[in-house]
Structure 1
Amino acid sequence: MTRTITASDREEIQQAAAAAALAAPGVAALQPALADRLALAASRVYHAMTAGTASHHEAAGIRCEHTPEGGWHVEVRCVLHADRRVVDTARQVREDVWTAVTTCLTRQGATRPVRVLVTVTRTV
């Protein structure tokens, strides 16, 4: 029987992906996309108006979504240190995030295929 993924499961997946990406050698930071920044700003305003003190945690630079095949597509947007080779660091981030998300899904009892796309936005 297939278990349904909840919002807290999705947040756990995002956090695992973010932690794995940030732990990879050469990663300086994660960078959210403009749409993520706007959505977060709108969410904060909405929660401030309706709940007053509701908090919202977002894994910056990580976007997770279900694929039509029933798996997961994880996008990672990161800023790298300039003293590292971009291709090697991006490859390491992809492997580390794939491992972290797959492990997280296995713990949740929802083994599904995972595809990871890494975008390097800049180097510092």
Structure 2
Amino acid sequence: MTTTRIRDIQQAAARAALAVPGVAALQPSLADRLAAAVASRAQQTSGAAPLPADAGIRAAHTPEGGGWHVEVRCVLHEDHRVLDVAQQVREHVRAAVTALLAQHGTPAPVTVLVTVIRTV
């Protein structure tokens, strides 16, 4: 898969996760935040460079199974039940990525791991 394809999967997963009621935001990883800081320095701008909307998503092709593994790191609203929201995020992301792959003619199994970072 090309980088563009991985980016498409990350963006589809991000849109699906953010559409779930109770999801406040996606949490970028430390690597995402460091990359944004380096980009900001390189551009000589004040403040941090904006993080991409899919910064809380990791996607990797699993060669042994021929499928995809997607990790979602999210921040939830505290007035929602964490387990219910995490299950909905997993289902929505899996459906969105599966549909994207089918649309491109490359159907494959998709596994999704949801990590709730915190509640706000």
The TM-score, its normalising length taken from structure 1, stands at 0.82
What is the correspondence of 1:1-124 to structure 2 with a 5 Å cutoff?
A: 5-42=1-38, 44=39, 48=43, 57=52, 59-69=54-64, 70-124=66-120
User: SS where residue 79 of structure 2 aligns?
Assistant: coil
Q: CA deviation at 1:71?
A: 1.1
* Structure 1 stretches of at least 4 aligned residues deviating more than 6 Å after TM superposition: none
Q: CA deviation at 1:57?
A: 4.7
CA contact (8 A) 2:26 2:75 kept: yes
Change (3 A) 1:108 1:41: farther
Structure 1 unmatched runs, 5+:
49-55
Give per-residue Cα distances to partners, 1:44-91, cap 9 Å, x unaligned.
Answer: 26975xxxxxxx956110000111322111000000000000000000
Q: How big is the alpha-carbon RMSD for the aligned residues of Structure 1 and Structure 2?
A: 2.0
The TM-score, its normalising length taken from structure 2, stands at 0.84
Provide the C-alpha distance between the structure 1 equivalents of 2:20 and 2:58, rounded to a whole number of angstroms. 18
CA contact (8 A) 2:22 2:85 kept: yes
Change (3 A) 1:68 1:40: farther
Provide the C-alpha distance between the structure 1 equivalents of 2:29 and 2:60, rounded to a whole number of angstroms. 15
Q: Given residue 60 of structure 1, which amino acid in structure 2 is its aligned partner?
A: A
Identity value in percent:
63
Structure 2 unmatched runs, 5+:
44-50
Provide the C-alpha distance between the structure 1 equivalents of 2:40 and 2:32, rounded to a whole number of angstroms. 14
Q: Given residue 85 of structure 2, which amino acid in structure 1 is its aligned partner?
A: T
Q: CA deviation at 1:36?
A: 2.2
The alignment of Structure 1 onto Structure 2 pairs a total of residues equal to: 113
